[in-house]
Structure 1
Amino acid sequence: MSEAVSCPVPPEQRPLEEFQQLCESWFFSWPAGQEPSLGQRLAGFWLLMLPVCSLIASGSWTLKQDPPRLLAAAAVAALVLPLLLLVRQWLGWTYVMQRLLRESVDYEESGWYDGQTWEKPLSWRERDLLVARHEVRPILGRLGRAMATSAGLMLAGASLCQAL
Protein backbone atom coordinates (compact mmCIF):
# COMPACT_ATOMS: atom_id res chain seq x y z
CA MET A 1 0.00 0.00 0.00
CA SER A 2 2.91 2.33 0.65
CA GLU A 3 3.89 1.94 -3.03
CA ALA A 4 0.53 3.35 -4.10
CA VAL A 5 0.99 6.34 -1.80
CA SER A 6 4.51 7.06 -3.06
CA CYS A 7 3.50 6.65 -6.70
CA PRO A 8 3.54 10.06 -8.43
CA VAL A 9 1.57 8.78 -11.46
CA PRO A 10 -2.03 10.06 -11.50
CA PRO A 11 -4.40 7.09 -10.96
CA GLU A 12 -6.06 7.37 -14.40
CA GLN A 13 -2.63 7.17 -16.11
CA ARG A 14 -1.49 3.95 -14.41
CA PRO A 15 -1.34 1.00 -16.82
CA LEU A 16 -3.51 -1.28 -14.69
CA GLU A 17 -6.14 1.45 -14.37
CA GLU A 18 -6.04 2.00 -18.15
CA PHE A 19 -6.59 -1.75 -18.59
CA GLN A 20 -9.61 -1.64 -16.27
CA GLN A 21 -11.01 1.39 -18.11
CA LEU A 22 -10.82 -0.51 -21.41
CA CYS A 23 -12.50 -3.54 -19.85
CA GLU A 24 -15.36 -1.34 -18.62
CA SER A 25 -15.66 0.64 -21.86
CA TRP A 26 -18.66 -0.15 -24.06
CA PHE A 27 -16.58 -0.31 -27.22
CA PHE A 28 -13.31 -1.83 -25.98
CA SER A 29 -15.01 -4.50 -23.87
CA TRP A 30 -16.26 -6.37 -26.98
CA PRO A 31 -13.17 -8.56 -27.39
CA ALA A 32 -12.69 -8.87 -23.63
CA GLY A 33 -15.81 -11.04 -23.39
CA GLN A 34 -16.65 -14.19 -25.28
CA GLU A 35 -15.90 -14.38 -29.02
CA PRO A 36 -19.57 -14.73 -30.05
CA SER A 37 -20.22 -11.32 -28.48
CA LEU A 38 -17.49 -9.75 -30.64
CA GLY A 39 -18.71 -11.60 -33.71
CA GLN A 40 -22.32 -10.67 -33.10
CA ARG A 41 -21.52 -6.99 -32.73
CA LEU A 42 -19.35 -6.94 -35.83
CA ALA A 43 -22.06 -8.79 -37.77
CA GLY A 44 -24.56 -6.21 -36.55
CA PHE A 45 -22.42 -3.36 -37.90
CA TRP A 46 -21.96 -5.26 -41.16
CA LEU A 47 -25.74 -5.68 -41.45
CA LEU A 48 -26.19 -2.00 -40.65
CA MET A 49 -23.81 -1.03 -43.45
CA LEU A 50 -25.13 -3.53 -46.01
CA PRO A 51 -28.20 -1.45 -47.09
CA VAL A 52 -26.10 1.71 -47.25
CA CYS A 53 -23.46 0.02 -49.39
CA SER A 54 -26.18 -1.55 -51.56
CA LEU A 55 -27.69 1.87 -52.14
CA ILE A 56 -24.31 3.32 -53.10
CA ALA A 57 -23.45 0.36 -55.34
CA SER A 58 -26.81 0.64 -57.10
CA GLY A 59 -25.65 4.00 -58.45
CA SER A 60 -23.31 2.11 -60.76
CA TRP A 61 -24.93 1.44 -64.11
CA THR A 62 -22.99 -1.82 -64.58
CA LEU A 63 -23.87 -3.18 -61.16
CA LYS A 64 -27.49 -2.09 -61.45
CA GLN A 65 -27.82 -4.43 -64.42
CA ASP A 66 -26.23 -7.33 -62.48
CA PRO A 67 -27.98 -7.84 -59.08
CA PRO A 68 -25.83 -10.77 -57.83
CA ARG A 69 -22.67 -8.79 -58.47
CA LEU A 70 -24.23 -5.69 -56.88
CA LEU A 71 -25.03 -7.66 -53.73
CA ALA A 72 -21.54 -9.17 -53.60
CA ALA A 73 -19.91 -5.76 -54.04
CA ALA A 74 -22.12 -4.27 -51.31
CA ALA A 75 -21.33 -7.15 -48.95
CA VAL A 76 -17.60 -6.64 -49.47
CA ALA A 77 -17.84 -2.87 -49.03
CA ALA A 78 -19.91 -3.30 -45.85
CA LEU A 79 -16.98 -5.20 -44.29
CA VAL A 80 -14.92 -1.99 -44.22
CA LEU A 81 -16.63 -0.60 -41.09
CA PRO A 82 -16.21 -3.76 -38.99
CA LEU A 83 -12.58 -3.95 -40.09
CA LEU A 84 -11.98 -0.32 -39.10
CA LEU A 85 -13.61 -0.97 -35.72
CA LEU A 86 -11.31 -3.95 -35.22
CA VAL A 87 -8.24 -1.87 -36.10
CA ARG A 88 -9.27 0.80 -33.58
CA GLN A 89 -9.72 -1.83 -30.88
CA TRP A 90 -6.38 -3.41 -31.79
CA LEU A 91 -4.63 -0.05 -31.41
CA GLY A 92 -6.21 0.61 -28.00
CA TRP A 93 -5.40 -2.83 -26.60
CA THR A 94 -1.87 -2.79 -28.05
CA TYR A 95 -1.21 0.55 -26.36
CA VAL A 96 -2.29 -0.84 -23.00
CA MET A 97 -0.23 -4.01 -23.54
CA GLN A 98 2.88 -1.94 -24.22
CA ARG A 99 2.28 0.17 -21.09
CA LEU A 100 1.82 -2.96 -18.98
CA LEU A 101 5.02 -4.56 -20.27
CA ARG A 102 7.25 -1.53 -19.74
CA GLU A 103 9.39 -1.26 -16.62
CA SER A 104 8.58 2.42 -16.25
CA VAL A 105 5.46 4.53 -16.60
CA ASP A 106 5.37 7.70 -18.69
CA TYR A 107 2.85 10.17 -17.34
CA GLU A 108 1.83 13.81 -17.43
CA GLU A 109 1.37 15.84 -14.28
CA SER A 110 -0.79 18.65 -15.64
CA GLY A 111 -0.46 18.70 -19.43
CA TRP A 112 1.37 17.40 -22.47
CA TYR A 113 4.35 19.68 -21.85
CA ASP A 114 5.47 18.26 -18.49
CA GLY A 115 5.90 14.53 -19.12
CA GLN A 116 7.68 12.47 -16.50
CA THR A 117 8.84 8.87 -16.17
CA TRP A 118 8.45 6.76 -13.03
CA GLU A 119 10.16 3.41 -12.52
CA LYS A 120 7.65 0.71 -11.51
CA PRO A 121 8.43 -1.22 -8.31
CA LEU A 122 9.05 -4.95 -8.77
CA SER A 123 5.63 -5.91 -7.40
CA TRP A 124 3.91 -3.61 -9.93
CA ARG A 125 6.00 -5.02 -12.79
CA GLU A 126 5.11 -8.60 -11.84
CA ARG A 127 1.40 -7.79 -11.53
CA ASP A 128 1.36 -5.86 -14.81
CA LEU A 129 3.21 -8.67 -16.58
CA LEU A 130 0.61 -11.20 -15.38
CA VAL A 131 -2.24 -9.00 -16.58
CA ALA A 132 -0.53 -8.45 -19.94
CA ARG A 133 0.10 -12.16 -20.49
CA HIS A 134 -3.16 -13.62 -19.19
CA GLU A 135 -5.70 -10.89 -19.88
CA VAL A 136 -4.53 -8.67 -22.74
CA ARG A 137 -2.70 -11.23 -24.90
CA PRO A 138 -5.87 -13.38 -25.37
CA ILE A 139 -7.82 -10.24 -26.28
CA LEU A 140 -5.23 -9.33 -28.91
CA GLY A 141 -5.44 -12.91 -30.17
CA ARG A 142 -9.22 -12.63 -30.60
CA LEU A 143 -8.84 -9.32 -32.39
CA GLY A 144 -6.15 -10.74 -34.66
CA ARG A 145 -8.35 -13.70 -35.59
CA ALA A 146 -11.31 -11.40 -36.21
CA MET A 147 -9.22 -9.08 -38.42
CA ALA A 148 -7.88 -12.08 -40.37
CA THR A 149 -11.41 -13.40 -40.83
CA SER A 150 -12.66 -10.00 -42.02
CA ALA A 151 -9.76 -9.61 -44.43
CA GLY A 152 -10.33 -13.16 -45.69
CA LEU A 153 -14.02 -12.45 -46.24
CA MET A 154 -13.13 -9.29 -48.14
CA LEU A 155 -10.73 -11.19 -50.39
CA ALA A 156 -13.22 -14.01 -50.94
CA GLY A 157 -15.97 -11.51 -51.70
CA ALA A 158 -13.75 -9.60 -54.11
CA SER A 159 -12.89 -12.88 -55.85
CA LEU A 160 -16.59 -13.71 -56.04
CA CYS A 161 -17.30 -10.31 -57.60
CA GLN A 162 -14.70 -11.01 -60.24
CA ALA A 163 -16.06 -14.51 -60.88
CA LEU A 164 -19.64 -13.33 -61.36
Structure 2
Amino acid sequence: MCISKKTCPVPFDQQPLNEYFSLKTSWFFSWSTLNNYEYVKKIVSIFCFLFTLFMPFVLSIISNYSFPQILILDTFIVNIVLILIFIRLYLGWSYIIKRLVSATIFYEESGWYDGQIWIKSTESLTKDRLIGLYEVTPFIKRIQSSLIILLLSIILENLLYYLIK
Protein backbone atom coordinates (compact mmCIF):
# COMPACT_ATOMS: atom_id res chain seq x y z
CA MET A 1 0.00 0.00 0.00
CA CYS A 2 3.03 2.26 -0.09
CA ILE A 3 2.94 5.16 -2.51
CA SER A 4 6.03 5.39 -4.69
CA LYS A 5 8.70 7.99 -3.93
CA LYS A 6 8.08 9.63 -7.33
CA THR A 7 4.53 10.58 -6.44
CA CYS A 8 4.91 10.98 -2.66
CA PRO A 9 8.01 12.41 -0.97
CA VAL A 10 6.66 11.57 2.51
CA PRO A 11 8.74 8.92 4.34
CA PHE A 12 7.11 5.49 4.59
CA ASP A 13 6.37 5.68 8.34
CA GLN A 14 4.79 9.14 8.03
CA GLN A 15 2.37 8.35 5.21
CA PRO A 16 -1.16 8.47 6.65
CA LEU A 17 -2.21 5.13 5.20
CA ASN A 18 0.84 3.40 6.67
CA GLU A 19 0.26 5.14 10.01
CA TYR A 20 -3.30 3.80 9.92
CA PHE A 21 -2.15 0.24 9.25
CA SER A 22 0.49 0.36 11.98
CA LEU A 23 -2.04 1.74 14.47
CA LYS A 24 -4.62 -0.87 13.46
CA THR A 25 -2.14 -3.69 14.08
CA SER A 26 -0.64 -2.32 17.28
CA TRP A 27 -1.44 -4.13 20.53
CA PHE A 28 -3.11 -1.22 22.31
CA PHE A 29 -5.16 0.24 19.47
CA SER A 30 -6.15 -3.03 17.80
CA TRP A 31 -8.78 -3.97 20.36
CA SER A 32 -10.85 -0.92 19.41
CA THR A 33 -11.19 -2.50 15.94
CA LEU A 34 -12.73 -5.74 17.23
CA ASN A 35 -16.34 -6.69 16.62
CA ASN A 36 -18.85 -5.54 19.24
CA TYR A 37 -18.88 -8.76 21.27
CA GLU A 38 -15.08 -8.99 21.45
CA TYR A 39 -14.84 -5.26 22.19
CA VAL A 40 -17.19 -5.48 25.18
CA LYS A 41 -15.48 -8.67 26.33
CA LYS A 42 -12.10 -6.87 26.26
CA ILE A 43 -13.45 -3.89 28.21
CA VAL A 44 -15.02 -6.15 30.83
CA SER A 45 -11.81 -8.15 31.20
CA ILE A 46 -9.77 -4.95 31.61
CA PHE A 47 -12.33 -3.70 34.13
CA CYS A 48 -12.15 -6.93 36.15
CA PHE A 49 -8.36 -6.94 36.09
CA LEU A 50 -8.16 -3.31 37.26
CA PHE A 51 -10.88 -3.91 39.85
CA THR A 52 -8.92 -6.73 41.48
CA LEU A 53 -5.68 -4.80 41.10
CA PHE A 54 -6.97 -1.70 42.91
CA MET A 55 -9.02 -3.48 45.59
CA PRO A 56 -6.08 -4.02 48.01
CA PHE A 57 -5.07 -0.39 47.51
CA VAL A 58 -8.57 0.84 48.35
CA LEU A 59 -8.83 -1.49 51.35
CA SER A 60 -5.51 -0.31 52.73
CA ILE A 61 -6.47 3.35 52.48
CA ILE A 62 -10.08 3.13 53.64
CA SER A 63 -10.85 0.93 56.60
CA ASN A 64 -13.87 2.44 58.35
CA TYR A 65 -16.28 2.44 55.42
CA SER A 66 -18.95 -0.13 54.64
CA PHE A 67 -18.35 -2.83 52.06
CA PRO A 68 -20.70 -1.30 49.42
CA GLN A 69 -18.90 2.04 49.75
CA ILE A 70 -15.56 0.32 49.21
CA LEU A 71 -16.90 -1.44 46.11
CA ILE A 72 -18.25 1.81 44.71
CA LEU A 73 -15.00 3.62 45.43
CA ASP A 74 -12.97 0.88 43.74
CA THR A 75 -15.28 0.97 40.73
CA PHE A 76 -14.90 4.75 40.60
CA ILE A 77 -11.09 4.47 40.50
CA VAL A 78 -11.24 1.79 37.81
CA ASN A 79 -13.58 3.93 35.71
CA ILE A 80 -11.19 6.88 35.97
CA VAL A 81 -8.38 4.66 34.67
CA LEU A 82 -10.63 3.38 31.88
CA ILE A 83 -11.50 6.95 30.92
CA LEU A 84 -7.79 7.72 30.61
CA ILE A 85 -7.35 4.64 28.42
CA PHE A 86 -10.24 5.67 26.18
CA ILE A 87 -8.95 9.23 25.92
CA ARG A 88 -5.63 7.83 24.68
CA LEU A 89 -7.47 5.64 22.17
CA TYR A 90 -9.51 8.61 21.00
CA LEU A 91 -6.47 10.84 20.58
CA GLY A 92 -4.61 8.21 18.55
CA TRP A 93 -7.49 7.51 16.18
CA SER A 94 -8.41 11.19 15.81
CA TYR A 95 -4.81 11.99 14.83
CA ILE A 96 -4.96 9.30 12.14
CA ILE A 97 -8.31 10.44 10.75
CA LYS A 98 -7.11 14.05 10.58
CA ARG A 99 -4.12 12.97 8.54
CA LEU A 100 -6.24 10.72 6.32
CA VAL A 101 -8.89 13.30 5.42
CA SER A 102 -6.51 16.24 5.12
CA ALA A 103 -5.52 17.37 1.62
CA THR A 104 -2.02 18.29 2.81
CA ILE A 105 0.42 16.26 4.87
CA PHE A 106 3.10 17.73 7.09
CA TYR A 107 6.15 15.48 7.33
CA GLU A 108 9.74 15.60 8.52
CA GLU A 109 12.49 14.50 6.20
CA SER A 110 15.31 13.94 8.65
CA GLY A 111 14.43 15.80 11.84
CA TRP A 112 12.18 18.32 13.51
CA TYR A 113 13.98 21.24 11.89
CA ASP A 114 13.22 20.47 8.24
CA GLY A 115 9.48 19.88 7.99
CA GLN A 116 7.78 19.88 4.61
CA ILE A 117 4.20 19.89 3.38
CA TRP A 118 3.01 17.55 0.64
CA ILE A 119 -0.25 18.10 -1.23
CA LYS A 120 -1.95 14.77 -1.86
CA SER A 121 -2.86 13.69 -5.36
CA THR A 122 -6.55 13.27 -6.12
CA GLU A 123 -6.24 9.49 -6.16
CA SER A 124 -4.49 9.21 -2.79
CA LEU A 125 -6.77 11.85 -1.25
CA THR A 126 -9.87 9.93 -2.33
CA LYS A 127 -8.49 6.61 -1.06
CA ASP A 128 -7.40 8.11 2.25
CA ARG A 129 -10.73 9.86 2.80
CA LEU A 130 -12.69 6.70 2.05
CA ILE A 131 -10.61 4.75 4.56
CA GLY A 132 -10.91 7.54 7.10
CA LEU A 133 -14.64 7.94 6.81
CA TYR A 134 -15.66 4.29 6.48
CA GLU A 135 -13.08 2.50 8.61
CA VAL A 136 -11.74 4.93 11.22
CA THR A 137 -14.91 6.92 11.97
CA PRO A 138 -16.75 3.86 13.43
CA PHE A 139 -13.81 3.28 15.80
CA ILE A 140 -13.96 6.89 16.96
CA LYS A 141 -17.74 6.76 17.44
CA ARG A 142 -17.43 3.55 19.44
CA ILE A 143 -14.77 5.10 21.68
CA GLN A 144 -16.91 8.22 22.16
CA SER A 145 -19.89 6.05 23.13
CA SER A 146 -17.72 4.15 25.60
CA LEU A 147 -16.52 7.41 27.13
CA ILE A 148 -20.09 8.64 27.52
CA ILE A 149 -21.10 5.39 29.21
CA LEU A 150 -18.14 5.62 31.59
CA LEU A 151 -18.94 9.23 32.46
CA LEU A 152 -22.56 8.33 33.13
CA SER A 153 -21.46 5.43 35.31
CA ILE A 154 -19.23 7.77 37.33
CA ILE A 155 -22.21 10.05 37.92
CA LEU A 156 -24.29 7.03 38.98
CA GLU A 157 -21.52 5.82 41.28
CA ASN A 158 -21.34 9.21 42.98
CA LEU A 159 -25.09 9.17 43.54
CA LEU A 160 -24.95 5.65 44.94
CA TYR A 161 -22.01 6.48 47.16
CA TYR A 162 -23.84 9.41 48.78
CA LEU A 163 -27.08 7.47 49.07
CA ILE A 164 -25.31 4.67 50.92
CA LYS A 165 -23.38 7.06 53.12
TM-score normalised by length of structure 1: 0.91
Matches within 5 A, 1:60-79: 60-63=62-65, 66-79=66-79
* Cα distance in 1 between the residues matched to 2:55 and 2:159: 18
Normalised to the residue count of structure 2, the TM-score between the two structures is 0.91
Give the structure 1 partner of residue 12 of structure 2: 11
What is the distance in 2 between the residues matched to 1:155 and 1:35? 25
Identity among equivalent pairs (%): 28
Q: Which moved more, 1:17-26 or 1:39-48?
A: 39-48
Name the structure 2 match of 1:162. Answer: 162
Q: What SS is found at the alignment partner of 1:106?
A: strand
Other-structure match for 1:127: 127
Amino acid in structure 2 at the alignment position of 1:90: Y
Moved over 4 A (4+): none
1:136-158 deviations in Å (ceiling 9; x for gaps): 11110111111111111111111
- Aligned CA-pair RMSD: 1.6
Measured in 2, the distance between the counterparts of 1:24 and 1:54 equals: 32
Query: Aligned residue pairs: how many?
Result: 161
User: Which deviations, in whole Å up to 9, do the C-alpha atoms of 1:54-90 show, x marking residues without a partner?
Assistant: 2232222432xx1111111111111122211111010
Equivalents in 1 of 2:30, 2:55: separation in Å? 30
Mark the runs of 5 or more structure 2 residues left unpaired by the alignment. none
Deviation at residue 51 of structure 1 after TM alignment = 2.7
Find the counterpart in structure 2 of residue 108 from structure 1.
108
In structure 1, give the amino acid aligned to 2:82.
P
